[in-house]
């Protein structure tokens, strides 16, 4: 996650962002390899191409909506709510892990409209939810 978001969070809540852990370097590469293997892709380009072509748009859900609710997202696509979620902000250079409840509570502090495209997944690698910078929510399940 970008440093300015951590600073903004600290200024607003007078505490640190509740990230369980940040995954970087070789650990991040290992997570990416596992994710890519599960999704039958070999490169970032193949992954993002698959995302663009095969992920399903949730027409009635937009992350910019005032009443956006991650529980509603998971219910609508039939994914059990996980304990932890992995958040990729860019090109899988680093991944932040949050407790799902904290991710939901602080989503507006994590995802910035107009700036962020994120992928949300868990350690099973069986599903991915993508939130585009304009609020569109897409998903895929294995």
Q: pLDDT tens digits, residue range 50-74?
A: 999 999 999 999 999 999 999 999 9
Which two structure tokens, joined as six digits, stand for 58?
Answer: 């949730």
Average pLDDT of the residues in 89-109: 95
pLDDT band at 90 (very low <50, low <70, confident <90, very high): confident
Give domain limits for the chain.
Answer: 3-141
CA distance 114 to 133: 5
At 14 the pLDDT is 97
Average pLDDT of the residues in 26-41: 95
Q: What is the pTM of this model?
A: 0.94
């Amino acid at each position: 996650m970008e440093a300015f978001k951590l600073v903004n969070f600290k200024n607003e809540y007078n505490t640190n962002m509740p990230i369980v852990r940040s995954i970087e370097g070789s650990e991040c590469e290992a997570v990416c390899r596992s994710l890519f293997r599960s999704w039958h892709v070999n490169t970032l380009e193949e992954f993002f191409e698959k995302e663009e072509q095969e992920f399903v748009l949730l027409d009635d859900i937009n992350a910019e909506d005032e009443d956006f609710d991650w529980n509603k997202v998971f219910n609508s696509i039939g994914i059990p709510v996980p304990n932890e979620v992995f958040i990729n902000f860019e090109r899988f250079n680093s991944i932040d892990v949050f407790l799902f409840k904290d991710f939901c509570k602080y989503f507006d502090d994590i995802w910035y409209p107009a700036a962020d495209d994120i992928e949300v997944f868990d350690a099973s690698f069986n599903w991915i939810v993508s939130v585009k910078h304009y609020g569109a929510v897409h998903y895929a399940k294995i």
